[in-house]
Amino acid sequence: MGKYNESEDWADVVPIPQNDGGLNPLAAIAYSDEYREAMEYLRAVMASNEVSERVLELTEHVISMNPAHYTVWLYRANTLFELQKQNQSDLQEDILEELNWLDGISLRHLKNYQIWHHRQTLMTHLDALPPTEIPFLARMFAKDAKNYHVWSYRQWLVRHFSLWDTTELPYIETLLTADVRNNSAWNHRYFVLFGRDIDPSSGKGLDEVGNIVDEDLIDREVEYTKAKIRLAPQNQSPWNYLRGLLRKRGSLVECKKFAEEFVGDLEEGKGCRSSHALDFLADCCAEEKDKDKAGRALDLLARRYDPIRKGYWNYRRGLLGLGAVEA
């Protein structure tokens, strides 16, 4: 006997067992009795398309056992919205109550995609961003500052509620001050500064479709990024960010001398403090048609500073018409 089987509140529902393939299924899944029973009752209410408070309680129970069950999340969302219509309740209050419940689950299951899709679905029915949302995301990032699902959701929030000029840059700065190697924060910085200019019809930025570049913004960000690189020269994230900035102008060469600060003596192959600076310098020299210097930088990467990717560096040498090197 189980929770629903013995409940008078569920006496009118005929549970639907899972069909595993007959009496002797080849590979039946060993569900717990509690989960099996809850799913049998869930199939029944879904079959009848029931919308009720007890359905919300049932979905909450199933989610507590299997928070990755996307079908349950979808049915819960539909039930929540249909109940609001039937009861003529305050949708905003209903959603805030649901978010409060969702917070606890999110903090217990950090890498669950379905939770964040459900949260996004709820947000589409709100007129404004709840004041508790940004502080809650800060709690999530305190547990895992590079959580892909949370960052994806945050980017959606920025677009949906037009948060480009409000909370984002100051918060990113706190993250990068705490950990300059937080590649997710670098990615979000680029998105916040340049994402609003994406043309939805082409997926390209205004600088690509209309040759529009905010030179003051690029200048500011280049100097900011240089300062962060000096803190940790072997950190790849700001080097990639710097490339993204300079490509909006069409050339990496303006930061060639900056890269040279970290590569040491190219001829002697000594004193290099950053393989990423060598990589950057190789591209600058290639852009200037200085194949010999570009080749020397790539040679050092293949032989000494990044031999694990020797094949890639030799490929880059091949693009310059240079021969391969042996590590």
Question: Which residues 6+ apart lie within 8 Å of 12 measured at CB?
Answer: none
DSSP letter string, 236-254: HHHHHHHHHHHHTTT-SGG
Tokens of 98: 């649901």
Q: Of these residues, 3, 85, 111, 310, which one is catalytic? A: 111
Which residue's entry shows tokens 């309680």?
A: 57
CA 302 centroid distance within chain = 32
| Contact yes or no for 16/40 (Cβ under 8 A) | yes
Residue 111 designated active-site: yes
Integer CA distances (angstroms), 28 to 19, 22, 24, 36, 41, in order: 9, 10, 9, 12, 19
| Contact yes or no for 187/154 (Cβ under 8 A) | no
The Cα–Cα gap between 84 and 302 comes to 63
Question: Which residues 6+ apart lie within 8 Å of 182 measured at CB?
Answer: 145, 146, 175, 176, 237
Single-letter amino acid code for the residue at 109: H
**Nearest alpha carbon to residue 287 among 311, 263, 252, 313:** 252
The Cα–Cα gap between 225 and 245 comes to 10
What is the set of active-site residues?
111
